[in-house]
Amino acid sequence: MLATGVIMQWGAGPLRGLPVADRTSTTFVHDVLAYGLLFGVPGHVWMAARDPVALVGMRTGMVPATWAARAHPAWSPAPVDAPEAGGQVSAGPARSPQ
């Protein structure tokens, strides 16, 4: 956004050595990035707000085993009721759900 904004702002002045096609293309790139931010940031905030357990898990690295078993069954190393689960799923190496 900063680079395209600079070219859009000063493209006809100090940056007039750039080809017109390059200066015009920056408007398209700038608009695409702006729409991405316009929808992407609120979308991520909304998703984080609707799943507070996942948000805590991102900050701490730990989630309740019951939540992991319900939301992501492949994460649970043991059945939730098993004593070794201890009510938590610890951070460990990532593995594919396949």
Distance CA 27, CA 45 (A): 27
For residue 63, the cross-strand partners are 89
Question: By C-alpha distance, which of 7, 37, 41, 36 is closest to 24?
Answer: 7
Domain residue ranges of the chain, discontinuous segments joined by +: 1-50, 52-90
Distances, alpha carbon 96 to alpha carbons 58, 73, 74, 87, in Å: 18, 12, 8, 22
Can you give the pLDDT of all 98 residues of the chain as single tens digits? 888 888 888 777 776 777 878 888 899 999 999 999 999 999 999 988 898 898 888 889 888 888 888 888 887 665 555 555 455 555 555 555 55
For residue 89, the cross-strand partners are 63
Is the model's pTM score more than 0.75?
Answer: no
